[in-house]
Amino acid sequence: MRRLLPLLLVLTACDAPPAPTPVDDPAGWMVAHADLYLEDRGARRAWIESSLWRPELPYASKRLDAYALPAGGWDALPEMQARTAAVAADGSPMPWRALPDDIPADLAGWRALGERVFHELPMRRDAYVEWLATRPDLWDRAGLRIEEGAIDGLTRFVDWRGDERVGVTCALCHRGDGVPGRAARALDLGWARSRYVESRGRPPGAYAGWGRGRLDVTEDAVDDPLAIADLWTLPWQSHINTSGAVRLDTPAALAIRFETQFITGHAFAVRPPRHLVWALAIYVLTLDRPVSTAPADHPGADVFARRCAGCHDPARGYAGDLVAPDGLIGDHGPAFSPMRGTGFLKVPGLIGVGAGGPYLHDGRFATLTALVEAGHPFGDPPPADDAAALVEFLEHL
């Protein structure tokens, strides 16, 4: 009975939204609906309202009060000039490059544009990241990657005031080991931020405790860093964010998430060219994924079916819906955070989970062995032979 509890939690969580209707071809859906997103404010309004299923949350209300209104709001913000340059590791100037204004005609064109956006568009700017870009002595400790003479995941751009700044692209957090979609588990921006704060003569605060592979970007009064997520299972996910505050009822919810993330990341002063975030969503939904190398008859597959598949559905990229946190091992804070707390936690996908920890949203387990032997999810450890087989199976997903 205990092993069935995760599934029962999903089925009895009457306050949770129903699982979204799956879209068999989310990228194709987005190509077909591009004109609506680009030109129809009413469609975008309907999509954001349906995806923010807890409109009373501060995270949701801030967006509902400003996004796709009949007039004004964030739609009235100036559009950012999509002109950027790589950040050279040796400090030398790099050539400026402009993301195209043309609207792609097919899926291949949208995906190619989205790949560029993933690497080039500054999704946010932070003073401590700009400071870090000038401190090569800290790059290795902070987990920055240097590729072809540039800092992977950072980009130069001109802000709304005409000042040259350094921003963060998707690749900084979601191109671990140089693989698009993989969480950058070596990244330690909390440590870098604490060094920046100290350089300004202030106490380092809680940032240093974030640890590698974890970030807090909620900008509220609560320190709640979360593990950076792999992106491969988004086509099967029912919700975005650890607490599931955004419901992925249509692929448009992902593009709107990117658009509003950009606006908040640039201090509500500018919005992105809308075709770029639509392309980004298509690219993320079509990322190449690791291929399981575990044989179908691997003994760990049977253990997984008995202990894990009730929540982590193999037919959905080993992802699931929302679960109530009662009885789960680990920190339940994100389920009740002031900004996004829904009272639930999202069941993440497990494709590529063997690439390394930290595991669980609070990063408390460094290895899969530690996670399994602790008896995730309810503190019910499996027998030693089952545990070893399950870890080996997970390492090959």
- Asked if residue 352 lies in contact with residue 176, where contact means CB atoms within 8 angstroms, the answer is no
User: Is residue 115 located within the same domain as residue 13?
Assistant: no
DSSP strand pairing (345-346 vs 322-323): antiparallel
pLDDT over 60 (residue 254): yes
CA torsion angle for 273, 252, 287, 123 (degrees, to 10)?
40
- Please indicate, yes or no, whether residues 97 and 208 belong to a single structural domain of this protein: yes
Are residue 129 and residue 41 in the same domain, yes or no?
Answer: yes
Q: Over range 265-273, report the average pLDDT.
A: 96
Q: Which of 2-6, 14-18, 93-97, 386-390 has the lowest mean pLDDT?
A: 2-6
Assess whether 306 and 262 both reside in one domain. Answer: no
Q: Which residues pair with 166 in a beta bridge?
A: 156
CATH number of domain containing 353 = 1.10.760
Residue where a domain stops, chosen among 252, 285, 318: 285
Residue of higher predicted confidence among 209 and 27? 27
Indicate if 11 and 71 belong to the same structural domain.
no
Same domain, 362 and 258: no
Domains: count for the chain: 2
CB of 337 within 8 A of CB of 243?
yes
Q: What is the pLDDT of residue 16?
A: 67
pLDDT in tens, 118-146: 999 999 999 999 999 999 999 999 999 99
Q: Which two tokens stand for residue 368?
A: 């899969």
Same domain membership, residue 254 and residue 145: yes
Same domain, 76 and 175: yes
Nearest to 270 by CA among 39, 13, 81: 81
Q: What is the pLDDT of residue 206?
A: 83
* pLDDT confidence of residue 32: 96
The domain boundary residue, chosen from 285, 320, 355: 285
Closest CA to 244 of 83, 19, 14: 19
Give CA separation, 117 vs 32, 82, 102, in Å. Answer: 20, 9, 14
Cis status, amide bond into 290, omega within 30 of 0: no
Cα 25 to the center of its chain, rounded Å: 21
Residues 6+ apart with CB under 8 A from 115: 180, 283
* Same domain, residue pair 251 and 117: yes
- Residue 277: Cβ within 10 Å count: 25
Tell me the average pLDDT across 51-63: 96
Residue count of the chain: 397
Cα–Cα distances in Å, from 25 out to 107, 108, 118? 11, 14, 21
Residues 296 and 281 placed together within one structural domain of the fold: no
| Sign for the pseudo-dihedral over CA of 255, 268, 172, 53 | negative
pTM of the complete model: 0.94
Do residue 365 and residue 256 come from a single domain? Answer: no
Q: Tell me the pLDDT tens digit for each residue of 73-121.
A: 999 999 999 999 999 999 999 999 999 999 999 999 999 999 999 999 9
Domain of 361 in residue numbering reads as 2-19+290-395
Domain boundary among 223, 255, 285: 285
Q: Say whether both 152 and 300 belong to one domain.
A: no
